[in-house]
Structure 1
């Protein structure tokens, strides 16, 4: 947990959640949904060349005090801190993204992070991925696990890795042995600094809504509801872009970053 003053109640206020009375599956579902509906996935820091940190106090300051969001590693690390503060047994797992929304690819090894939470049975939790489930997934579950965000299946590879399939698409593969935050330093340094890594040149932002999700990819705003794309359009006007970004994600930008021309959302 670190040696700083981690205020669980302040974190719960940040996500609009009451302190659970019990450490159980129902409370975990509640906390995961509140987090995904309150703390956006966003890569603003990378676009502005202000590289983030996975260290406890810096993360707490960014997400709780400054009311920002973050990338997958930031969001899942922060959520793990909250869960540990509430008494949940949490293990960090390293993962590799295998689909970017348009086609299969081999993402950076350890470029993604997911959480294993031990309760009556082990659960998979992810609050930092565009195609993540809204509720925890049963690690021992077989067959489809239906969720407001789609249909999920978990498979184990011959080597013992965990694979997540969402709506028929293989999204990521994770190792099952525990990882420490320091294990992600090298891979994330590459993702946050390399000109070949898309996160340093393209803007992503996304937050869960009661009926689905609202995402921004560069200047393209896309809204999903009940699993279907509701609309998608390019925000060509700077004033509208800045207003929408602050309204949706709670982040005020001084100016629109220099972004690639994109016509398709995610």
Structure 2
């Protein structure tokens, strides 16, 4: 990324250029990203290609003012952090299902980020309702966060387990990966009838008050101080207006579920 691209990305998330790759700078960038760039799977249901290259992901997030799912959001964020001087390692993770079983390899992309003043952090702006701030990588105790109480615990084969409010979220493999390694995982989540991304429509971001706004199909949910309010949108015009108002996403048509058939 050149200087112009970096500045455009920072304007996209509403923050200035940090003076140095410090822990506080990482925290500020992480929270600003969550507040500005939504977690969304609209491309899956709009029939749009998802290209896992740094250039394509930054173009989507910055120029097209869209969001994405984990590979896209954390992939783009990694490009920004690297350009700002942070030491970034891409990690693959397996997300736990409702039965407590880890999913496929390369199910999720998370980031290990080293700052110049206080070591390594687990950064993740692509997991939906998750931590608002990076988690201390080497801390095995409870870590309080606006998004909940988190813990990074040891797991077999030198993996790490990320836990939120007592419930395991995902299992992290500590070996460094390249963005291209996640191509098969992204393809699975775009095409498999077993993927939760093909079974639902979602667009969600953290709000300035620390709450969350989510549009799932035609259901708009806002959470403020733990209180959830839902509204059902009746028309396509209302849906498109909600995408624009709450997420800054301008669409020509309402996304419709495109559920793949089993063969």
Same fold (TM over 0.5): yes
Tell me, what secondary structure is at the counterpart of 1:45? helix
* Residue aligning to 1:145: 143
Change (3 A) 1:106 1:233: farther
Distance 1:40 1:215, change over 3 A: same
Match of 1:231 in 2: 229
Alignment-derived partner of residue 80 in structure 2 = 82
Contact 2:46 2:256 in 1 (8 A): no
Q: Distance in 2 between matches of 1:236 and 1:259?
A: 17
Alignment of 1:1-266 (within 5 A): 7-99=5-97, 104-119=100-115, 120-211=118-209, 212-226=211-225, 228-259=226-257
Bigger mean CA offset, 228-237 vs 38-47 = 228-237
TM-score, structure 1 normalization: 0.89
Whole-Å separation in 1 of the counterparts to 2:227 and 2:165: 14
- Alpha carbons 2:140, 2:151 under 8 Å: kept: yes
Residues 218 and 234 in structure 2, CA contact (< 8 A), matched pair in contact too:
yes
**Alpha-carbon distance, 1:159 to partner:** 1.7
Unpaired runs of 5+ in structure 2?
A: 259-263
Question: Judging changes above 3 Å, is the alpha-carbon distance between structure 1 residues 255 and 72 closer, same or farther for their aligned structure 2 residues?
Answer: same
Cα pair 1:46 1:200 within 8 Å, conserved: yes
Offset from partner CA, 1:86-136 (integer Å, 9 cap, x none): 000000000111146xx6454332121110011222110000111321111
Deviation at 1:5, TM superposition (A): 8.1
Question: 2:68 & 2:250 partners in 1: Cα distance?
Answer: 14
SS of 1:199's equivalent?
coil
Report the RMSD for the aligned CA atoms in angstroms.
1.9
CA distance in 1, matches of 2:30, 2:97: 23
Aligned residues: 255
4+ long deviations beyond 4 Å: none
State the alpha-carbon separation in 2 of the partners of residues 179 and 154 from structure 1.
20
Tell which deviates more after alignment, 228-237 or 112-121: 228-237
SS of 2:140's equivalent in the other structure is coil
Q: Distance in 1 between matches of 2:193 and 2:4?
A: 35
Residues of 2 paired with 1:21 and 1:45: CA distance? 35
Equivalent pair of 1:43/1:199 in contact (CA under 8 Å): yes
When normalised by structure 2's length, the TM-score is: 0.90
Matched-pair contact (CA < 8 Å) for 1:207–1:214: yes
Q: Distance in 2 between matches of 1:223 and 1:16?
A: 22
